[in-house]
Chains A and B, each alone.
Chain A
């Protein structure tokens, strides 16, 4: 199980600049679909990468689905040389994304993000309209159902008296 509370706290405590995207963002907006990991788009500056690595260092991050024993270490150099990392750690599954298809990087998504406070932790989350556009741009058939739910959510949310 992914401990969203602990992961978000760890990232926020280290002052990591990131935006929650994907299924966790959909959950934040009210989607009912099950998601098992936390997807974040992180800012690619050297300082932020240092913070990101520090935030996750205690939770033993490792490549998700990879056989055990590979010489993988999530350090600054690894993140600088790569872009997107699909990881599992003691707090659950987390995807570190330097960019997302149809959405770009942190700076591109920032104007389309909103500030939320789940579990008392302030974090940025991709806005619902942009989340829909990004999923549409990815064009994956497996996302059709999720996009339909997000669009229905947007319609329901626009009704008076609803949160977010």
Chain B
């Protein structure tokens, strides 16, 4: 599989704002994702979407019952 782009880009200059945000990134999640195939990453995303949608529905039901 061709995983490399044909036109490599120069290294990205660190941005202090982005560096600040980077401190809060959970790298354990990224490391786990990097062990997955691309298909598995999309399957995980769709499972997360289903979960988020179910939580949204549950929230709606709870508000209606109040």
Chain A residues within CB distance 8 Å of chain B:
1-5, 24, 27-28, 30-32, 34-36, 111-120, 127, 129-130, 132-133, 136, 144-145, 147-149, 151-154, 156-157, 162-164
Contact = CB atoms under 8 A, between A and B. Distances in A.
A130 B9 contact: yes
Interface of B: 1-9, 12, 15, 17-19, 21-22, 24-27, 29-31, 33-39, 41-42, 45-46, 48-50, 52-53
A8 B25 CA distance: 29
17 contacts: A4-B46, A30-B34, A34-B45, A34-B48, A34-B52, A111-B7, A112-B9, A117-B1, A118-B39, A118-B42, A119-B39, A144-B17, A147-B15, A151-B22, A153-B34, A154-B12, A156-B27
A32 B42 contact: no
A147 B16 CA distance: 12
Contact of B21 (A30, A32, A145, A163): A145
Contacts of B17: 144
B42 A27 contact: yes
Main secondary structure of the interface of B (DSSP, over half): helix
A27 B50 CA distance: 16
A148 B36 CA distance: 21
Contacts of A112: 5-7, 9
A5 B35 CA distance: 20
B38 A34 contact: no
